[in-house]
A and B are shown apart, each in its own frame.
Chain A
Amino acid sequence: MSEFITFDKVGKTYKVGEVDIRALNNANFMIKQGEICVIVGASGAGKTTILNILGGMDTMSDGNVWLDGQEISTYNEKQLTAYRRYEIGFVFQFYNLIPNLTALENVELAVQICKDHLDPLQVIQEVGLSDRKDNFPAQLSGGEQQRVAIARALAKKPKLLLCDEPTGALDYHTGKAVLKLLQDTCRKTNMTIVIVTHNSALCDMADRVIHVKSGTIESVTTNPNPTPIEQIEW
């Protein structure tokens, strides 16, 4: 299998006032198509920076990044927006649903701007929320909201699904259910999923684990036999 994502000597420097902060330094790794990749590290280690760069939400200071044969490190702002729009699905820690739209409408909001997408109703059904589709976010539980968020990301038929602490705000069981949904989706649709977390227990479910520490990649390990979610405990 070819490299789907390649990070080549990627670095990122933030300027905070007069001070330069090196958030990421010489990051090299690659991820294959259809893999679940977990990027794990303590807070401030640089994992969010990787996620931002990968998601086209931020530019890098140096190095190159390829996704599916295209070099996104050369993209300008407009291209990055199009990239986020057509290639990336995003799942946030706090769901970030639009409070004024129902579950179904939140999904529809995302597909509105996509050329090729799934039927929102069907996706809602797939995440198991067909009976809650007309509820507003405030009327849904955390897990339900996160499932709407996943549905919103999946409906766009992204090449890459990025999840930022998808279980961070959820309780144990709900978190597991959400992860299960992600893992099943990956296996079923051969979608590449990158999960950023500080919970190293999630490493077992991944095909590939990237450990980040103090702005550098500490290790990249592959996991030939990922554990099904049901068997992971934390």
Chain B
Amino acid sequence: MNVLIKSIFREIKNSIERYLAIFSIIALGVGFFAGLCVCRPALVHTAGKYLEEQNFYDYRILSSIGFSKNNTASFSDLENISSAEGAHYEDVLFTIGKNDLTFRVHSITDNINKLNIISGRLPETDSECVLDASFFDENMIGQTISFSDSNKEETLDAFHVSEFTVVGIATSPLYISGDRGTTSLGDGTITAFLFVNESCFTSDYYKEIYVTLKDSGALYSDAYKNAVAEQEDEVTKEAKIQANIRYEEIVAEAQKEIDDAKIKLDEANENLQAQKELAIQDAAQQIPNVGFPSLEENPYYIEMIDQIEASFEEPENELAEKYLDIEEAQKEVDSIKHPSVYILKRSENTGYASFEQDSTIIENISVVFPVFFFLVAALVCGTTMTRMVDEQRTQIGVWKAMGYNKLQISRKYLFYAGSAGLFGGIIGFFCGTVFIPRIFWSAYKTIYNFSERLLYVFDWKMCIISLGVAMLCTAVISALCCFKELRDVPALILRPKAPKNGKRILLERTRIWRRISFLHKVSLRNVVRYKQRFFLMILGISGCTALLVTGFGIQDSIQNVTDYQYQEIIQYDAKVTFTDSLTLEEQNQFIEQHQTMITDSIFLSENNIEITANGISKSTTITSAKEDITPFIHLQASDTIISYPKDEEIIICKGIADKLNIKTGNVVTLINDAFEQINVTVTGIFDNYINNYLFISENTMIQLFNDASVNAAYLNFNTDITTHNIVASILNEDIVSHIMLNEDIKESIEESFSSLNLVVLLIIICAGVLAFIVLFNLININIGERIREIATIKVLGFFNSESSAYIFREINMLTSIGALLGLFFGKLLHSFAMSKIKPDAMCFDSRIAWKSYLFSFILTLIFAGFVKIAMRYKLKKISMAESLKSVE
């Protein structure tokens, strides 16, 4: 083997710690970089595969009158359209336990939006159904669920059956997130979906048509968006045609009915007239015409005729009324509106859209962290290689004296650092790309249900970039270190490098200097002696602390959210939703009946609307209250109290305001479920972290919905009675559809947050590893360089603890400075990270508790402590004989 290569391997073996330091910082940097960068591709790839397998729709077409069953085929004849299928859906209240829960019942489509059966099977008969796997487990299979009695007549009429046996649980591409949407039934939210056979529905027309494209392109890609946009006009045109066909059918059918009815009526009329004629003729024959000039003047005859007329008056009037009815019906038919058509794309599907948004969160974060890690990596490598080259100055001189050229000599160092960088890069790349997306997925999995495991994505470009940066941080940096040294002539290199002079520092000119003990003086001078190391140390340690502050801060911001929300903002214990609007009498009755249990209550009117501002819209619930709502929900912005809106005003919660970029004073548009809209002025934005709230005055509600009748209430419970009993008693009321306990919401939210702890743990581990590598490497260099000094002070009679203190004092100083700076950086990093994490229906209170600052600071010192313990052992091992050795 080549001597040079041999020497390299020996070098690595002898200085394995140093080698590992470069290796691990590169692995960490690359792992973080590649891992975070691959998160979105991995998420999108997994979702893409799922949606492709389930054949997710590209267009969802709705019309105000639905589509006739025969005409879906015409969509598939369009260019670049692969298939089209019609579907039914209906929101139905089911009784589960004592609660009435709203389910959206869909018809199963054969090829589009295929269900992914998690357990059980697809329905075979009309009395079977498949349930939402996100909210029910396989224990439900075999159970029967039935329609609630509080369903409206038309809902019941929409189905042939009124109960289903659960035969399977499944996920649907229509619902990849946990959001099931809103409805006009119950409390306004849909609990879960339910799929049944198409033949369960009585309707003879489709509510919606799903259409898929032939060639569309990858999920969320521009190619896909273009492909969808390109075909949109065509599809819209066809949808209009189909809607018109349905329109004409309806009109024709109605017209036929009217015409038929008219014919019947005409017949009836003719009959009647004929009968009348006959009766009159009979009368003429019966009455003898004597003594009168004509029959018409005969009083008997006149009397007779009058009698007949009178007897026919009633049926004639009836007929006339019927004619009026028909006229009325004709008017109605004539006034049937031409249908409006809606072409919805995937981006209008809540799950699909929120997944796109959520997956970009990581992408945004993934820029900052790696840059920082790579900077540290470059510095670690730089200091290490500088030290190595310094140590081997004589050796380099010898190589040079023997006639090796610069490149040949530096090859050793390039290889040393480069191989550490390459191996670290490869290991880091694979570990990062495998584990980091998984960690994120385990947090996302609580929201998105479509896959247990995330698919692995290998990105060549990313791999090359990562390894390129790894090489830049190692080989290139060490080449720079080397060439600096190699510039000198061999004779100069062979001579020992003059030790870096002791320098007086600025502090010595001050009076404080005299009060400092000499041991501290050495440390203080050493701190500023090596600028590069000083910088590395500060960067590494402050980075560690900053990561910790961010990690703990994320926890704070999230944990505080539930506490703050349910202690400071929300004051009511439960929200009850009524099956129908309540009269004043019913309200009083309800309160009277639960007098002992309910300490306080307020009746509300709630409706679903879409709020639009600045081109962004969001569908949510809007509330109006008759009385003062503040005892139930504190409307505040920081410390300012927000007053309840007057007519044509609105106050909105911070979450929606942030999402829609709304400021106080803006005008926003509210759209009701019939697509009618009004404009209102925002008079306040109040603090709120969970769920979205919008409040308007009763008059505004009436203006929007023609109705502000009571359909919900906030309740406060008597704390002496167990909540369970109160809930049971309230649910026993027929008028109550649903009750929602804030305690339950709080619990379930806290549960879902617990997955974020994993992310926080990841951050803490990374911070620890970072601190460890930086400290270990620096202390290692420091000790290596000062072996002689350490041996000398040992000979001078410093106890082990004193000699470690002598070395570590400056490390402690730098650690403290770094950690203090880190607290500041941490605050910045935290607010950056928080600005990127914004889940739907939730907004975080970006704050860091002083305890977290303290913990981060202490934890940094503890990390440093671990390294120092390891290094103390190394210090202890330094032989005093080193002090006797000659200067190399």
Contact = CB atoms under 8 A, between A and B. Distances in A.
Contacts of A58: 880-881
B795 A55 contact: yes
Contacts of A57: 794-795, 880-881
Interface string B382-417: 000000000000000000000000000000000000
Interface stretch (A61-69, A77-85, A171-179, A185-193): A77-85
Contacts of B503: 136
B519 A81 contact: no
Contacts, number: 94
A109 B518 contact: yes
Contacts of B500: 99
B522 interface: yes
B518 A113 contact: no
Given A57-B881, A96-B792, A100-B529, A138 B502 contact: yes
B1 interface: no
Interface stretch (A31-39, A87-95, A205-213): A87-95
Contacts of A152: 796
* Best-buried of B502, B522, B526 by chain A (most CB within 10 Å): B502
Nearest to B876: A77
A42 interface: no
Contacts of B502: 99-102, 136-138
B521 interface: yes
A82 B886 CA distance: 26
Size class of the contact patch on chain B: 20 to 34
A213 B788 CA distance: 28
B802 A113 contact: yes
A14 to B, nearest CB: 11
Interface in A1-30: none
Interface string A86-130: 101010111010111110010011101100000000000000000
A90 B795 contact: yes
A41 to B, nearest CB: 15
A110 B795 CA distance: 10
A86 B796 CA distance: 9
A164 interface: yes
B517 interface: yes
A96 B788 contact: yes
A52 interface: yes
A167 interface: no
B97 interface: no
A138 B881 contact: no
Interface of A: 48, 52, 55, 57-58, 78, 81-86, 88, 90, 92-94, 96, 98-102, 105, 108-110, 112-113, 136-139, 152, 164
Where chain B touches its partner, the secondary structure class is helix
A11 B84 CA distance: 98
Given A57-B881, A90-B796, A136-B501, 4 more contacts: A57-B794, A58-B880, A113-B798, A138-B499
Given A52-B881, A84-B797, A92-B883, A138 B498 contact: yes
Interface of B: 498-503, 517-519, 521-522, 525-526, 529, 788-789, 791-800, 802, 880-881, 883-884, 886-887
18 contacts: A48-B884, A57-B881, A58-B881, A81-B797, A81-B799, A81-B800, A84-B794, A88-B797, A92-B792, A92-B884, A96-B883, A99-B789, A101-B502, A112-B519, A136-B501, A138-B498, A138-B502, A139-B501
B796 A110 contact: yes
B789 A101 contact: no
B518 A101 contact: yes
Nearest to A80: B797
B521 to A, nearest CB: 7
B522 A100 contact: yes
A109 B793 CA distance: 9
Contacts of A82: 797, 799
Given A78-B799, A84-B796, A138-B502, A101 B522 contact: yes
B521 A105 contact: yes
Contacts of B797: 81-86, 88, 113
A93 to B, nearest CB: 7
Contacts of A136: 501-503
Contacts of B886: 93-94
Contacts of A94: 788, 886-887
Nearest to B529: A100
7 closest Cβ pairs, A-B complex: A85-B797, A136-B502, A84-B797, A96-B792, A100-B502, A57-B880, A100-B525
